[in-house]
Structure 1
Amino acid sequence: MKSRSVNLLTVSVALIISAIIIGLALPSAVKQYRSYDRTVTVKGLSEREVNADIVIWPIRFNVAGNDQASVYQDLQNNAKKIRAFLLLNGIDETAISLSSPAMQDRWANSYGRDRPEFRFSAQQTLTVYSAKVDTVRNTMAQLLELGKQGITLEDSSYRTDYLFTKLNDIKPAMVEEATQNARKVAEKFAADSHSQLGKIKSARQGQFSISARDKSSPHIKKVRVVSTVVYYLAD
């Protein structure tokens, strides 16, 4: 009986000591938990201006007449003249491709006095796909020479595409810069709130975007990426 009383006393003392230890440790644990619960979400931006490394330039030309065979022949002759003009200005033969011609009978759906002067109208497109962006742009400025040869061209400047294909070369540096900029923002926030910046809780890299710097400079591209980072804050 005495032995049983001693055991009960021992257990009681142990429970009391455990309760005291837990009571002393609990505030610290709660404080530490709350410190990990406090976060700040920031964004970091990285931008670069780069030159396009590929240009796609469609040159569309037209011929009209009343004899179908002559229209086709004139279209073929104009294609040869345009090709010679491009080669003369330093554009490679391998960069030039020619589409199939498209012919229209303009009298097919017209009657009497509404008929246009020329029955047949034909169009064809010669496309330049080149990495020599500066050479192509310089050639564009010389198109007046084709006009002097009697070749009718459509304005294709608005359909010219400039591409930047070397994104992978600058991706790592831009991601690093965006992350560093995000950290600077987080450090400023922590300092203003009298906190200390902790470890990264999560991070998300946004999509890279490539756009023309402005309407008048489509060959100059602006590359942009935004990284979102969540940091822990501590007192």
Structure 2
Amino acid sequence: MNEALGKHIGAAGILALGLVLSTWLIAQTFQDIKSMERTVQVKGLAEQEVMADTVIWPVFYKDADNNLEALVARLEEKNSAIRAFLTLHGFNESEVSQATPSIVDKYAQEYGQNERGFRYVAKSGLTVFSHQPDKVKLALGQLSTLAKQGIAITQDDYQNRIEYMFTGLNDIKPKMVQEATQKAREVALKFAKDSDSQLGKIKSARQGQFSISDRDSNTPQIKTVRVVTSVEYYLSD
């Protein structure tokens, strides 16, 4: 009985040792394979200039008076004049909306009771939303027509700035992604050549977010679209 038990224990020990050795060999082989794996990570940039296809133009002005009734009547007259001006420059009713006038009574504000000037200060105007930015450009060049009617359009206020937008991103996305990927591959090929390696298949790839920005502060209607693609390639000797 003792001899048989000893044989069983010996066999179990040998089996356990074999399993440990096998596990160790597998781990070592895996580590060797990982150590032999070489990759290179590169980025490719694609840029394209496009013209804005949509514009939001707040045509706003300010006015003031001590007589509220007279001020409101003048706002109505000026808004009608602005609407006529916009119609003359090719904007239809669907492109123009009138905002609710904002009127402040300075006498109703404690901090403004001692200030000199008009009691009522108003801000009013219309907003243009159009898919023809060129019409806005032409109309801007004729704002002196409104100035001669006593309507000074506010343009330096951040809230009243003209906003140009590009909405056709989906149409140019595929071509730009392709261009960015090609540029990334060119960089990877150059790296492989300089390191005496062969460029292999793609291990992973990631497309960055598209960004749309003004080309410069003087031409906000011209936009720059950018995208960066990150690609990781295998390398071999």
1:49 is paired with a residue of what secondary structure?
Answer: strand
Q: CA deviation at 1:35?
A: 8.3
Moved more, 146-155 or 212-221: 146-155
How far did 1:107 drift?
Answer: 2.9
Contact 1:35 1:233 in 2 (8 A): no
Distance across 2 between alignment mates of 1:116 and 1:141:
35
Judged with a 3 Å threshold, the aligned counterparts in structure 2 of structure 1 residues 157 and 211 are, in CA distance, closer, same or farther, namely farther
Give, in whole Å, the separation in 1 of the partners of 2:225 and 2:157.
22
RMSD of aligned alpha carbons = 2.1
Q: Which amino acid aligns with 2:229?
A: S
Counterpart position of 2:233:
231
Distance 1:135 1:99 in 2: 21
Counterpart residue type for residue 69 of structure 1: E
After TM superposition, the structure 1 = structure 2 runs for residues 90-169 of structure 1, keeping only pairs within 5 Å, are 90-108=90-108, 109=110, 110-111=112-113, 114-156=114-156, 159-169=161-171
Asked whether the 8 Å contact 1:56–1:127 carries over to 2, the reply is yes
Moved over 4 A (4+): none
Which one-letter code corresponds to 2:210 in the other structure?
A: F
Unaligned runs of 5+ in 1: 1-28
Q: Show CA shifts across 1:170-211 (max 9, x none).
A: 000000000000000000000010100000000000000000
Aligned equivalents of 1:197, 1:129: Cα separation in 2: 51
Question: Number of paired residues?
Answer: 206
Structure 2 regions of 5+ residues with no counterpart?
1-28
Question: SS where residue 151 of structure 1 aligns?
Answer: coil
1:160 maps to a residue whose letter is: I
Structure 2 SS opposite 1:134? helix
Query: Scaled by the length of structure 1, what TM-score is found?
Result: 0.82
For 2:115 and 2:177, the matched residues in 1 are separated by 62
Correspondence 1:205 to 2:207: yes
> 1:57: how far off?
0.6
- Structure 1 residues 164-203: aligned runs within 5 Å: 164-203=166-205
2:57 corresponds to which residue?
Answer: 57
Distance in 2 between residues matched to 1:115 and 1:190, nearest whole Å:
74
In 2: Cα distance, 1:36 partner to 1:138 partner: 65
Q: Is the 8 A contact 1:195 1:234 kept in 2?
A: yes
Using the TM superposition, give the Cα deviation of residue 143 of structure 1 relative to its aligned residue in structure 2, in angstroms: 0.8
Give SS of 1:107's match: helix
Instruction: Give the TM-score taking structure 2 as reference length.
Output: 0.81
Q: Structure 1's 55 and 193: CA in aligned 2 closer, same or farther, altered over 3 A?
A: same
Identical columns (%): 51
